[in-house]
Chain A
Amino acid sequence: AAGVIQSPRHLIKEKRETATLKCYPIPRHDTVYWYQQGPGQDPQFLISFYEKMQSDKGSIPDRFSAQQFSDYHSELNMSSLELGDSALYFCASSPRLVGTQYFGPGTRLLVL
């Protein structure tokens, strides 16, 4: 069965640089969620999209922005990167607003 695809899987950036993370949801899933997981921590909700419109925001810094495109893939744009942004970033998708979320393999971001 098709799963959530995330790219890149690993990313190394310098402080103050920008990064773009991509997420391709499971086919026919119209809702995408972004989560951040720091070392030894549980996933924290950042932002979500439903039918290409922002649905809700969590603890997402103002330096981050995201969007969902017409093919339902989503991109998380991160600017002015800080050391504390180093984490695993997960994308999850679900077939509707309420329901099981299926997670991708994550992008490991390291900011030096």
Chain B
Amino acid sequence: EDQVTQSPEALRLQEGESSSLNCSYTVSGLRGLFWYRQDPGKGPEFLFTLYSAGEEKEKERLKATLTKKESFLHITAPKPEDSATYLCAVQGPRGSARQLTFGSGTQLTVLP
């Protein structure tokens, strides 16, 4: 069974204080690892897709990396508007639907 574990559960940063979020996964045959941002009461907003170990992607202050067992979301010089819950999800080959299995998320708060 696919499993995704995210840490920490919650993270409070001062504006400009860089940090990393962790996503550890177990999946039989990774099709893709996805990072989403979710604001309260809203739908997950797509950030990145990573397909193979060693892959990296960047967008503004965010950078996602992937190894064979985990992924990191690095946040450089965060701003208060980066406050949100960041969800990691994996997509495996099991079944035909390729549904996502989500972690419990990291709730990030960036203080001004």
Contacts and interface: CB of A to CB of B under 8 A. Distances in A.
Nearest to A103: B43
B102 to A, nearest CB: 4
Contacts, number: 67
A103 B104 CA distance: 17
Nearest to A105: B43
Given A98-B32, A101-B34, A103-B36, A45 B46 contact: no
Interface residues of B, number: 24
B96 A45 contact: no
Contacts of A43: 44, 87, 100, 102
A33 B97 contact: yes
Contacts of A50: 96-97
Which of A43, A48, A97 lies at the interface centre, i.e. has the most chain B CB atoms within 10 A of its CB?
A43
Interface of A: 4, 33, 35, 41-45, 48, 50, 55-56, 58, 88, 90, 92, 97-106, 108
